[in-house]
């Protein structure tokens, strides 16, 4: 039966949800407070990465975060501030940073990331989309032997999870990237990873949806909801009131605030990430993550993107110059010929990613509301998990058997 579905949030996860819901015959409206041409869906590293099997909440991460709290150039920066939401999130995050949680999370992260790759493949073929999309793998580059040891431990876990990965030495790196000068003692190479140029996929998807009759309400913020016991009756925006059969909450870093209006209270923090683009050709043809600095380097269509950092500093779009400079200095340690100009650094952009306390997304229905489905909290993996999340949301609304086990992602899970 066709339903009227309102998707709140026009980032990649919201648009993927709209795509699958429309394909299955539903009347879909997407509402976003922005023009749907900025934010995390446009400034990410473009990775489709089953290799990223370790959740953000892992042993030692909280300790590093506390150590880095007063260093605004650190890879993970939690800005000190007295806020009840941050305190609750921090306590839950600390509780999740344990080996048992990592072990339980690996299969869930692998399954949703692999499903997403398959669905990106299918969308590109089914709709004749032209977005840049390559299956070249991903290098994890290490400056130190300590860093290499840590990456090899992760690679061992990835192998046991069935992913294709091997150690690479300096000679191997030179063979993989013959035209790029790279400084590294070694690393690992995940053949299972793909990469894309994000804005191209977003533009393809928006164009498809608009031509298909999906309504995209841009620059329109959702203000409130009208409820009837355990159902949402109407979505109230700053411009109109809309009746609805189903609501999908995919508002990224803003999902937490909106969830409070629904008495759901998702624990989320906004994690700011930065990107710097350069059109200078440095001979880079393979994506790489610079292990010690947590910086991503991606060859995109016509430019190279350098992206990185996780800044937990509230919801704002301010560019922290110190963090941009740290990225520029960090990438040069691994790619000594790569010098980002002052102009390139000045044109840096940022996006806010919704971070849950355990590093896993919230996907599915809350028990409190019969017609609300959530898709938020993906942290750095939103792009990598977007198509699968959209598909799972469609399956949830239609009461179909989900493509993968959704239990680890339940919105009502306890921390």
What's the confidence (pLDDT) of residue 41? 98
CA 64/CA 175 separation, integer angstroms: 34
Burial of 240 by CB count in 10 Å (0-12 exposed, 13-18 middle, 19+ buried)?
exposed
What's the confidence (pLDDT) of residue 70? 66
Digit-by-digit pLDDT tens for the chain (415 residues) are: 899 999 999 999 999 999 999 999 999 999 999 999 999 999 999 999 999 999 999 998 877 777 776 677 888 888 888 899 999 999 999 999 999 999 999 999 999 999 999 999 999 999 999 999 999 999 999 999 999 999 999 999 999 999 999 999 999 999 999 999 999 999 999 999 999 999 999 999 999 999 999 999 999 999 999 999 999 999 999 999 999 999 999 999 999 999 999 999 899 999 999 999 999 999 999 999 999 999 999 999 999 999 999 999 999 999 999 999 999 999 999 999 999 999 999 999 999 999 999 999 999 999 999 999 999 999 999 999 999 999 999 999 999 999 999 999 999 999 9
What's the confidence (pLDDT) of residue 249? 99
pTM over cut 0.85: yes
What's the confidence (pLDDT) of residue 285? 98
Do 194 and 135 form a contact (C-beta atoms < 8 A)?
Answer: yes
What's the confidence (pLDDT) of residue 76? 84
- Compute the C-alpha angle 166/169/173, nearest 5°: 90
């Amino acid at each position: 039966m066709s339903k009227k579905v309102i998707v709140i949030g026009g980032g990649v996860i919201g648009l993927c949800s709209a795509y699958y819901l429309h394909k299955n015959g539903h009347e879909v409206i997407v509402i976003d407070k922005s023009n749907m041409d900025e934010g995390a869906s446009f400034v990410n590293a473009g990775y489709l990465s089953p290799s990223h099997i370790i959740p953000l909440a892992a042993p030692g991460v909280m300790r590093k975060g506390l150590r880095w709290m007063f260093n605004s150039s650190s890879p993970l920066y939690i800005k000190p501030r007295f806020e009840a939401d941050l305190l609750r999130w921090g306590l839950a995050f600390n509780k999740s940073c344990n080996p048992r949680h990592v072990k339980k999370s690996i299969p869930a992260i692998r399954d949703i990331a692999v499903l997403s790759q398959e669905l990106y493949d299918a969308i590109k073929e089914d709709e004749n989309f032209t977005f840049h999309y390559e299956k070249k793998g991903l290098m994890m580059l290490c400056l130190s032997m300590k860093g290499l040891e840590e990456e090899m431990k992760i690679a061992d876990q990835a192998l046991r999870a069935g992913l294709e990965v091997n150690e690479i030495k300096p000679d191997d790196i030179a063979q993989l990237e013959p035209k790029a000068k790279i400084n590294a003692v070694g690393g690992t190479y995940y053949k299972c990873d793909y990469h894309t140029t994000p804005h191209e996929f977003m533009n393809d998807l928006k164009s498809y949806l608009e031509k298909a009759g999906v309504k995209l309400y841009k620059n329109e913020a959702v203000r409130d909801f009208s409820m009837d016991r355990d159902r949402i009756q109407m979505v109230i925006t700053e411009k109109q009131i809309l009746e609805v059969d189903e609501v999908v909450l995919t508002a990224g870093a803003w999902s937490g605030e909106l969830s409070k209006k629904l008495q759901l209270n998702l624990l989320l923090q906004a994690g700011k990430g930065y990107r710097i683009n350069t059109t200078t050709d440095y001979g880079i043809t393979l994506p790489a993550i610079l292990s010690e600095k947590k910086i991503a380097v991606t060859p995109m269509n016509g430019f190279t993107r350098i992206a990185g950092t996780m800044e937990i500093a509230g919801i704002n779009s301010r560019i922290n110059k110190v963090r941009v400079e740290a990225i520029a200095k960090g990438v040069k340690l691994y790619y000594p010929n790569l010098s980002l100009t002052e102009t390139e650094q000045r044109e840096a952009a940022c996006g806010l990613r919704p971070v849950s306390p355990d590093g896993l997304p919230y996907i599915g229905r809350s028990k409190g509301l019969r017609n609300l489905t959530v898709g938020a909290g993906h942290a750095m993996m939103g792009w990598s998990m977007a198509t699968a999340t959209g598909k799972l949301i469609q399956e949830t609304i239609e009461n179909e058997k989900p493509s993968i086990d959704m239990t680890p992602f339940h919105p009502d899970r306890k921390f």
